[in-house]
Amino acid sequence: MTNILKNWLERHQHPASQALHAIGIPLLVFGLLLGAWQLYNLQWDLWWRPFCLILISYVLQGIGHRIEGNDMGELILIKKMLGKPYIAIAPKNQA
């Protein structure tokens, strides 16, 4: 098992969080691909479709991280850049 997968599994232990991520991650990928396809085809008037998919994806994943008690990966990166404290792994899940 790779370190990336081990890290992900350590940060996502709760079954509800895993289920929310199982829905949210594919929605994010699809939203990004749809957005790229629409930009390529100059469909500016349909901007709301990929936006909504990406927004729903992040809401679902955010709920999952709330359940876990840790910060989302993107939020961790932002907090690191700003020198702010963050929770990578919830204290209850630390060995």
CA end-to-end span of the chain, whole Å? 19
How many domains does one find in the chain? 1
- For residue 73, what pLDDT is reported? 87
Structural tokens at position 30: 């699809």
Q: Is residue 61 part of a domain?
A: yes
Q: Is residue 2 part of a domain?
A: no
Written as six digits, the tokens of 39 are 């930009």
CA atoms of 42 and 2, how far apart (whole Å)? 39
* Residue 3 belongs to some domain of the structure: no
Q: Which residue reads 């999952």 in tokens?
A: 64
pLDDT for 7: 85
- Write down the H helix ranges in 41-72: 48-68
The one-digit pLDDT tens for each residue of the chain (95 residues) are 688 888 888 889 899 999 999 999 999 999 999 999 999 999 989 999 999 999 999 999 999 999 998 999 899 999 999 999 989 888 776 65
Give the structural domain span for 32.
12-93
Asked whether residue 4 is assigned to any structural domain, the reply reads: no
